Every structure is written in C-alpha cells, then in structure tokens.
Amino acid sequence: MTLSPKEKMAIPRTHMPEQNASRRATNFEEVNQGLEEAAAVKEAQRCIQCKNRPCVGGCPVAVRIPEFLAALAEGDFRGAAEILRADNALPATTGRVCPQEKQCEAKCVRGAKGEAVAIGWLERFVADWAARNLEAPKPPTRKTGFKVCVVGSGPGGLTAAGELARKGHEVTVFEALHAAGGVLRYGIPEFRLPKEIVDREVQNLQSLGVNIEYNVIVGKTITVPQIMKEFDACFIANGAGLPTFMNVPGENLKGVYSANEYLTRVNLMGAYKGEKSKTPVALGQTAVVFGGGNTAMDAVRTAKRLGSNPAVLAYRRGREEMPARAEEVKHAQEEGVEFMFLVAPIELIGDSNGWVKSVRLQRMELGEPDASGRRRPVPVKGSEFELPAEIAVVAVGTSANPLLTATCPEMKTNKWGNIEIDANHMTSMDGVFAGGDIVRGGATVILAMGDGKDAAAAMDQYLQARGRQKHDAG
C-alpha cells in the first residue's frame, strides 16, 4: 500500500508496550515488550523516505535505514531483515540499548514537525523477527587465507569479527572471561538486554565462522607481540574496564562498590539469585548510586530490584545535564528510584565493623560551563548533610584497561592510557588496529560498534595490500 506524504505525516508515533512498573521493579524481566507486527508496519509507514537521508548519517554503523523501513512498511520482513543484518552485526542489541534519540532519530526529518520515526524499536522488531523466522547467517564461500585476531568480545570486537569473517578472513577472538559479550553481558542488566539476546547475536557471528577462545587475558596469557607472530592482523577492543573512584574518605569500606564490580557480580555471576550465587553482592535497605549516566541508571535500577528501598541516585548536576538516556530516566522514576540532584559526596561513613552506614553529601550549584560544555557544579558552603546508605555504588566513569598496554610498551598511548590510532584505526604497531573504549574512553555500545566496522574495513584493505605485495614479489 502506497501512502501519500500527507497520509504518512498523519500517522501518530506508536507506543512501546512495557511491563507494569510496580511489577518490574521486583524482577529482572525485560521492561520493553516489543511491537506487534501491525504496529511495526504502521510505524515504518511514517518514514517519508526523504532524499538526503540524514538518519543514515546519524548512525555510527551506517545502517541503510530508509531501505529497511521501506521494506518493513510493505510487510516485507525478510527483506528488511536482510538489509539490517548486512549493515549491523548486532541488530537485536542496538535496537534495545542504542541511544537512537541522540543519533538516527535525532536526525529524522519527521522530528522537525512532531515525533521522529521509532527507528530503534523497528530495528528491534526486525531483528527479533529474523531470529524466529530466518536461518543463521552462513560463512562466505571465498576465503582469503589471512588469519586475524580480535582482542575482546564486546560490541566493538564482535562487530569487527563479524565484518572480517564476512570478508573471508579466518577470525579468532580472544575473550578474557568465560562468556562472550563484554559489557553487553556484564554491564547491561537483564531487564534492558536479556542474556539470551546476547547469546543469539554471538551464535550468529559464530555461524559466520568466528572462533571465540575464552579465558585468554591478553597481557597475561599472551601478549600482542606474540599474537602478531601467529596472525596477519589484530584488532584490539578490550574496553575501558578500570573503574574510576571519587577520591573521598571511606571508599574502601565494605558495601562500597564500583559500578563495574556491582553490575558484573549481578549480570555475569548471577548475584541476583541471592544466597545461591557464588559471588553475591551485599543487600541493604538504602542504596545510593553516585553518577548520572546510563551505567548509574543501570546500577540504581538493579539495586531497586534487589530490594533496596529507597534506591537513590545522587548526581552533582541537575536533571537537564544528565547524560543518561531519557527513556532510562523515565523508567527509573516509574520504578520508584529517588533522584537527588545537585549533591556531591564528600565522605562515606562506616560502622564499627567496617561497613558503610551513611554518606555525607554537600549541596551544589551550577557555575560556568566546563570542558564538556555542561555547567560546572560548585559547592554551596555550609550545606553538608548526611544520608543513610547501606550500599554505595560509584558510577562516575571508567578508564582504559591497562593489562594489555602494560606488556606492550611499543604501542603508543595518551596520558589517560588510551591507545593512539591513526585515521585508519591503526596503532603505532604495523598491522595492529584498535577501537572502542580502549581508544575513546568510556563511550556507548554503538560508537564501539562503529569503530569495529570502520576498523574491519581498514584491516581488509591492509590485508589486501599485503596480498598484492606477496603476489608481486612471488
């Protein structure tokens, strides 16, 4: 059915069905329930297929958004899935956790006169439909003969691995943990990204021929120079796994966690199972999470589900300055999370047994903008107060994982420990490329994926050039 531009503009944006807020605050089941077929087709019909395609420019992995939406609008689910799978190695994941409202949907022309097309929700719909109805991707018939190593199975590493496998290279991924996914598995809670989704996306990549070796810590088990004796090229995507702390007294008390440890214990090690878990987390009546990003939101919503009441998010700026996704903030508020804005911790206070019992906070006011463009928080004199806290989680950022670079001094890093790369994602070592958080510092899943896709293209060109050199020499 062909609709006129006027008819398309008249279609209201669909709503995402959600699990009831009071119920979901007590479980780890997925919050968003997914669109029905009719709703997905109707939403796709809202796309006006504008000629300049700004949505594609807003997507770090350059999904051909108008094409997959056009197919979906006609009810051609298979066609939409084939387009999406060709452009995005992890579509079911990005459809759930990508900040579309700041990227593709922010560029959507429909948004200038109403609401943008719900591109993220449609991406999720198509990916989930494909999982139910299509076979897993098959490996390419053409093989290049080149062996490529990928360090880390997070979003950047998995994307690069998939792209390189499609190009016919033999790909081996070295993963430090016992399961693949990186931050997708240990950092993002089940209620936002179910582990079965991560497993499915990983299996699709393995069906392309990607080999994953677990419990390999590059920098300990093996070094990059040793890798390059066995492989023709290497992509480093081991992330930013070193927690950042606040440098206030009391951070070494029991019951105080970095967000990285807290979420890893819950998501990867099953701490939500309580006493049955071999790596539990402390449970407390009052939990306070420090930070204002998506990781802080994940931590405080997790604490709420583990029984903390209140579960408090303390942020040193105001709501308008929060970097967290608007949807996550909305969901947290509906679930009963308490927000405290314009406050900063100055001390964590312990009891006689060394457990945290409270946090001393200081009220802040916003001054002039800092380097980030956000107004700098300034302490208000004489405004200190104390808040009970049996659990405290520090979610103020992470820095580069130092294990790999510490054993590879020939690889150039910046003052923050991030790997330096050129315009083609190559490091100071020939044939060694890098991307994601190890280069950027803590960033989003989709930006890491964009790096993985771009680096894979550059690596393929590098290997092709090597192949031509060998051919000419021989």
Per run of 10 residues, the mean pLDDT along the chain (length 474 residues) is: 85 96 94 97 95 94 96 97 96 96 94 92 98 93 95 97 97 96 95 96 96 96 96 96 93 96 92 78 94 96 96 95 93 97 97 97 92 87 96 94 90 94 97 96 91 97 84 59
What pLDDT is stored for residue 470 in this prediction?
A: 67
- Whether 284 and 390 share a structural domain: yes
Shared domain check, 344 and 329: yes
Same structural domain, 167 and 307: no
Confidence at residue 366, expressed as pLDDT on a 0 to 100 scale: 92
Residue 134 is predicted with a pLDDT of: 95
Same domain, 252 and 345: yes
Q: Is residue 390 part of a domain?
A: yes
The answer to whether residue 142 is domain-embedded is: no
pLDDT tens-place string over residues 177-219:
999 999 999 999 999 999 999 999 999 999 999 999 999 999 9
- As a whole number of angstroms, the distance between CA 432 and CA 382 comes to 53
Total domain count, the chain: 3
Convert the pLDDT of each residue in 97-151 to its tens digit. Answer: 999 999 999 999 998 888 999 999 999 999 999 999 999 889 999 999 999 999 9
Q: Does residue 392 sit in the same domain as residue 463?
A: no
Q: Is residue 285 part of a domain?
A: yes
Dist CA 27 CA 307 (whole Å): 10
Q: Are residues 73 and 129 in the same domain?
A: yes
- What's the predicted TM-score (pTM) here? 0.94
Of 459, 393, 417, 442, residue with least CA distance to 182: 442
* Domain membership flag for residue 141: no
Q: What is the CATH number of the domain that holds 110?
A: 1.10.1060.10
Report whether 371 contacts 355 (CB < 8 A): no
**Is 218:403 a contact under the CB 8 Å cutoff?**
yes
125 and 58 share one domain: yes
- Residue ending a domain, among 73, 102, 133, is 133
Positive/negative CA dihedral, 415, 419, 424, 428: positive
Boundaries of domain holding 462: 147-241+399-473
Residue 373 and residue 232 share a domain:
no
Q: Are residues 117 and 47 in the same domain?
A: yes
Asked if the structure places residue 41 within a domain, the reply is yes
CATH code, domain with 236 = 3.50.50.60
258 and 197 co-located in one domain: no
In this structure, is residue 225 part of a structural domain?
yes
Same structural domain, 385 and 405:
no
Residue 412, pLDDT score: 96
Tokens of 89: 């190695």
For residues 264 and 186, give the distance between their C-alpha atoms in angstroms, rounded to a whole number: 5
CB atoms within 10 A of CB 25: 21
Say if 172 falls within a structural domain.
yes
Among candidate residues 108, 133, 158, the one where a domain is terminated: 133
Last residue of a domain, one of 101, 133, 165: 133
Backbone angles phi, psi at 254, to 5 degrees: -65, 145
**Assigned domain for 323 exists:** yes
Q: Return d(Cα 472, Cα 451) in angstroms, integer.
A: 31
Task: State whether the Cα torsion 359-362-366-370 is positive or negative.
Answer: negative
Whether 222 and 349 share a structural domain = no
